Amino acid sequence: MEEKTAATSGEQKRLLRALDGEMLERPPWWLMRQAGRYLPEYRTLRTRAPGFIEFCLNPALASEATLQPVRRFGMDAAILFADILLVPHALGQKVDFGEDGPILEPITEGSGISGLRQAGFAGLDPVYETVRLCRAALPVETALIGFAGSPWTVATYMVEGGASRDFRVIKAWAYRDAHGFGALIELIIDATVDYLSGQITAGVDAIQLFDSWAGVLSEASFARWVIEPTRRITARLKERFPNVPVIGFPRGAGLFYQRYAAESGVAAIGIDTAVPVAYARDMLQGRVAVQGNLDPIALLVGGAVMEEEVRAIRAALGGGPFIFNLGHGVLPQTPPRHVAALARLLAEPVDRA
Ligand code: CP3
């Protein structure tokens, strides 16, 4: 008789089964930004390190932050506690987290990448230790997701010096001097592959690439700065780690979602709240697993509003490979009891009527 492996016996982690294309009666769930300020225990923990980067690079604190939401709500996956801006930090850029979000000493069109570390990639070893601590502490059925920002999104922070409204500086650079800008993207691709390889070697089961600002580009620019770098990262990871699936989250990509699903090499696609679920079912789910897409504000409001939104999402997407998630991250103002209510709702079988 054929020996039963975890993969054939149904013992495999629910998240990985969905990423492998399986339809599950009770689909896996986790929430983007499931760790963080909406949890009182996170706010207490956070006071134990002065700066946010120090917090992220402290394996004891970062692993505890990773585990907190899973302990409380029993998600099917934990997401490593870290930040997409650790990569610019490791490349030698000055990164600070102020009251109003991140502040970076911007990389300019004039100086290009000359100020960044170009050979070797060190400094993120504590993150790999965080992965090992999480892996050792998590229940066997709970997947651990590693992550990085996608090169385009990371570059927006590196070039704009923080959050941006119109992406004027980075887009103008990319249009005027695609070659020089491309060198920055190349550098981020290499750093990202190294960083994610380190996370995988330390024990993460899957990877998510956050492309939070994928939705601000023209068609040609989207192909060049979103799809192509993502394709290069997934291809290089697949060569070394064929069994580690990548979830791509090109937030706001709208009519480019289909092309991204077809060309980027991801195993699953995260859809934002504005993507119609019937469209995702008909046009994306045949090719990749779909993850999403409850409005974070519906979670913040809770009650019947949230229940109705959840029902519609599960009814549309529950018939194929599906991972329940939000359309963007949990907001700090979200009452934890609404997440507990969501957990109870998702424990029930999908009503596809
Ligand atoms: O629970 C998790 O999802 C894991 C941890 C995680 C954080 N950031 C922790 C964090 C993850 C996956 C991220 C991703 C991230 N970071 C993204 C992509 C997702 C998205 O929201 O679009 C982006 C764009 C960043 C960059 C970033 N980090 C910003 C813009 C900010 C400030 C705004 C904000 O949300 O606070 C951060 C800080 C940050 N990253 C915090 C946390 C918990 C808050 C800082 C603190 O707790 O002191």
Q: What is the pLDDT along the chain (353 residues), one digit of tens a residue?
A: 344 444 554 579 999 999 999 999 999 999 999 999 999 999 999 999 999 999 999 999 999 999 999 999 999 999 999 999 999 999 999 999 988 999 999 999 998 899 898 767 789 999 999 999 999 999 999 999 999 999 999 999 999 999 999 999 999 999 999 999 999 999 999 999 999 999 999 999 999 999 999 999 999 999 999 999 999 999 999 999 999 999 999 999 999 999 999 999 999 999 999 999 999 999 999 999 999 999 999 999 999 999 999 999 999 999 999 999 999 999 999 999 999 999 999 998 776 65
Distance from the alpha carbon of residue 140 to the mean position of ligand 1, in angstroms = 26
Angle at 268 (CA atoms; ends 262, 270), nearest 5 degrees: 100
- Which residue in 257, 262, 296, 260 sits closest to 275, CA to CA? 257
Distance from the alpha carbon of residue 34 to the mean position of ligand 1, in angstroms = 10
Residues with CB under 6 A from ligand 1: 32-37, 46, 52, 79, 81, 83-85, 97, 101-102, 147, 163, 210, 212, 329
pLDDT for the residue 9: 47
**pTM of the full predicted structure?**
0.96
Residues classed as catalytic: 33, 37, 46, 83, 157
CA distance 353 to 339: 25
CB-based contact 148:196 (threshold 8 Å)? yes
pLDDT for the residue 140: 96
In 3-state terms, what secondary structure has residue 247? Answer: strand
Amino acid at 109: E
Amino acid at 122: A
pLDDT for the residue 118: 75
Q: Whose CA is nearest to atom 4 of ligand 1?
A: 81
- Count the neighbouring beta carbons within 10 Å of the beta carbon of residue 53: 18
Outline where DSSP puts E strands in 155-261: 206-211, 246-250
pLDDT for the residue 353: 53
Q: All domains of the chain, ordered by start, with CATH?
A: 36-276 (3.20.20.210)
CA distance 67 to 137: 8
Q: Whose CA is nearest to atom 39 of ligand 1?
A: 83
Distance from the alpha carbon of residue 83 to the mean position of ligand 1, in angstroms = 6
Q: Whose CA is nearest to atom 30 of ligand 1?
A: 101
